[in-house]
Amino acid sequence: MPDPANIAVDLKGIRKSYGQFEVLHGVSLSARDGEVISILGSSGSGKSTLLRCINMLEVPDGGTVTIHGETIGIVRNPGQPPRPVSMAQVNRLRARVAMVFQSFNLWSHLTILENVIEAPVHVQKRDRRECVAEAEALLERVGIADKRDHYPTHLSGGQQQRAAIARALAMRPTVMLFDEPTSALDPELVGEVLKVIQDLASEGRTMLIVTHEMAFARDVSSRVVFLHQGVIEESGPPSEIFGNPQSERLRQFLSREYRGLAE
């Protein structure tokens, strides 16, 4: 069982710029074991960038990233882009922090089953038979067990995303990151994916979800964070954020994105 006293992910003072444009102006966020945190904000607010700083897909120009108490070393030389000190450390941590992407990013030359076992077998070096058994159980769980021998291009968007979630779960991650998991889906396929994510949330996993689905964020999160232009405007339990938004920008955002919730 995750221990709520432990901090799974700790971001302190994260800054990130692209050229002259600073996307994140010193964002601090910590997620305790078992928390489900939804990150909201309009486009350009930096929410995806923040999420990607956690598994070093983006390397922050300032601040620290600490996962389960281990801080990721970053080399920052003037005039050069920042990079991790040790890719071995990053790869080790990446094997415990699984990500689900907006455009699924399943590997198209592998079947669904092969997609799910690929990283457990080749990165975590686990026994192949054990991985296959676990993969089949996961595919069963997300509802696409019959697609195990199909290639990703044969699946609908919703099915692909569920496969991607199974692929992430196969790593037995301690932290799961969701980068706008339903934004690329046709509206009628969104529900099946949200249901799977909701299921996972109720199991006590540490999850950070960047999303536009307001009702979903309200129902599934233990905490909601509102990011605006690279700064955390407001943060709190869903009842507060959706029921009693304090900042003007948050109120504008909510009335734009979800009328009727701000009441």
Partner 1 sequence: MIDLPFFVDSLTTLARGIPLTLQLTAMSVLLGAVAALGLALMRVSGFAPLDLAARFYIVAFRGTPLLVQIYLIYFGLGQFPELRQSFLWPFLREAYWCAVLALALNTAAYGAEIIRGGLIGVPAGQIEAARAFGMSRFLAFRRIILPQAIRLMLPAYGNEAILMVKATALASTITLMEVTGIAAKLISQTYRPIEVFACAGVIYLAINFIVARAFLALQRATAWDRKPPALRNVESTRHA
In the list 105, 156, 222, 252, the residue contacting partner 1 (rule: CB under 8 A) is: 105
Biggest CA pair distance of the chain: 55
Q: What SS3 class is residue 98?
A: strand
CA distances from 13 to 25, 48, 66, 85, 170 (A): 8, 16, 12, 19, 32
Other Cβ atoms within 10 Å of 172 Cβ, number: 13
Nearest approach, Cβ of residue 50 and partner 1 (Å): 15
Options 1-9, 38-46, 122-130, 214-222: segment touching partner 1 (CB under 8 A): 122-130
In the list 109, 187, 202, 260, the residue contacting partner 1 (rule: CB under 8 A) is: 109
Nearest approach, Cβ of residue 99 and partner 1 (Å): 5
Burial of 18 (0-12, 13-18, 19+ CB in 10 A): exposed
Nearest approach, Cβ of residue 177 and partner 1 (Å): 9
Options 7-15, 21-29, 92-100, 200-208: segment touching partner 1 (CB under 8 A): 92-100
Asked if residues 154 and 160 have their Cβ atoms less than 8 Å apart, the reply is: no
- Which residues in this chain contact partner 1 in the complex, by CB under 8 A? 55, 57, 87, 91-95, 98-99, 101, 103, 105-109, 118-119, 122-124, 149-151, 153-154, 167, 171
